[in-house]
Structure 1
């Protein structure tokens, strides 16, 4: 009986050796790759968390400069945030905040450059669209109408259409295209919620060009 068991065990060992000789290297490499992938994933997660923490710290410093309206310092801090953590949401939000401070400080060219970076490099499409919308406003102030309209063409994001239409109306009005401006403002007015105060501003623009919504609806 013992001999029979010994023979069975030996046969099983021989089968195991044969299996390992045939597939051992493959199994080893699969394990190495699996463990390597797991280690890489853990490393990437740690790196992402580390980047987010450092980016948040820089953004906090940038916010403090914004509150103090330190246009030159905020530009330096934004450059640091952009260069080191340009793909994080903090960089995109930092660009919008920096451009606001720069514009208020009369640094229009610097604000345009900051918004251009956000419009081209932000990871979020909504932030890109908002940057283009604000950039169009600065270009309108600079009488660069064609470039302003070009920026608005690239700001087509769901939910932002009324604001884009309103700004388009402003540009068209500045070009002396009253009818086209009224059409754009009407599109904005139609798309804005009734209780939104901003809608009253758009309505005032329509009224100023003789296209008050109330009058046009009464005439139907």
Structure 2
């Protein structure tokens, strides 16, 4: 009987405790389970998005191989509009920009590059887009606009390429001393084994730069 009494007391205590905290615990469990379900659902959604984006990117690459710019632009429009948060969208826009540029459609090339700059999730892809956009603007002789594109922050590994592009624009503007300084910076920021160094040095020499200063 003593055991039964003790058991009854424990049961009564448990009932009292549950009455006081049961609802709170239930809601905590519901929230935790909902959060887990949401997280797994989101992961599944992301995988599905990436898989569908990959198919569109494959279609885009087929257009590139066939040199079919219209096909490339259609696929790029689909992947950026439907799967804009994926890396495939950024890669697709960059590829579409090059295809448009190769076909003399600078307006579309700029639009695709600007999309990456405005919507890209990767700083590296944004940097590539800015460098290419500055190159298009250089071809259009929109020099000040090109320099503006290059004035923002870039990942450190792009420092040499950015300075090199600035040198190209400044040379086109006949701002030779500024161009020399930009090319020298480009050399300083470009690794010794990087084949781009030779071209930068050639451009520096062509405008009367000091090879010794650039070393």
TMscore range, shorter length = over 0.9
Q: Which residue of 1 aligns with 2:199?
A: 201
1:54-95, CA deviations, whole angstroms, 9 ceiling, x for partnerless residues? Answer: 111111111111111111111111010000110111111111
Match of 2:104 among 100, 103, 106: 106
Q: Sort the Cα spacing of 1:217 and 1:67 in 2 relative to 1 into closer, same or farther, 3 A.
A: closer
Q: State the Cα distance separating 1:33 from its structure 2 match.
A: 1.1
Q: Which residue of 2 aligns with 1:44?
A: 42
Q: Sort the Cα spacing of 1:48 and 1:5 in 2 relative to 1 into closer, same or farther, 3 A.
A: same
Q: State the Cα distance separating 1:217 from its structure 2 match.
A: 7.2
1:107-158, CA deviations, whole angstroms, 9 ceiling, x for partnerless residues? Answer: 1110011001111110001111110000000000000001000111125221
SS at 1:159 equivalent? helix
Under a length normalisation based on structure 1, what TM-score does the superposition of the two structures give? 0.94
CA separation in 2, counterparts of 1:167 and 1:120?
A: 21
The Cα RMSD (Å) is 1.4
Q: State the Cα distance separating 1:7 from its structure 2 match.
A: 1.2
Match of 1:179 among 177, 181, 190: 177
Under a length normalisation based on structure 2, what TM-score does the superposition of the two structures give? 0.96
Match of 1:94 among 67, 92, 95: 92
1:161-212, CA deviations, whole angstroms, 9 ceiling, x for partnerless residues? Answer: 1110011011011111011111101111122122322111111111111114
CA separation in 1, counterparts of 2:4 and 2:15?
A: 16
Larger CA deviation: 198-207 vs 128-137: 198-207
5 Å matches for 1:67-146?
Answer: 67-146=65-144
Larger CA deviation: 96-105 vs 5-14: 5-14
SS at 2:121 equivalent? coil
The question of whether the paired residues in 1 share the 8 Å contact of 2:143 and 2:169 is answered with yes
The question of whether the paired residues in 2 share the 8 Å contact of 1:178 and 1:209 is answered with yes
CA separation in 2, counterparts of 1:190 and 1:33?
A: 55
**Number of positions where the alignment pairs a residue of Structure 1 with one of Structure 2:** 215
The question of whether the paired residues in 2 share the 8 Å contact of 1:132 and 1:155 is answered with no
The question of whether the paired residues in 1 share the 8 Å contact of 2:123 and 2:154 is answered with no
Ranges in structure 1 where 5+ consecutive residues have no aligned partner:
none
Q: State the Cα distance separating 1:37 from its structure 2 match.
A: 1.1
Ranges in structure 2 where 5+ consecutive residues have no aligned partner:
none
CA separation in 2, counterparts of 1:189 and 1:31?
A: 60
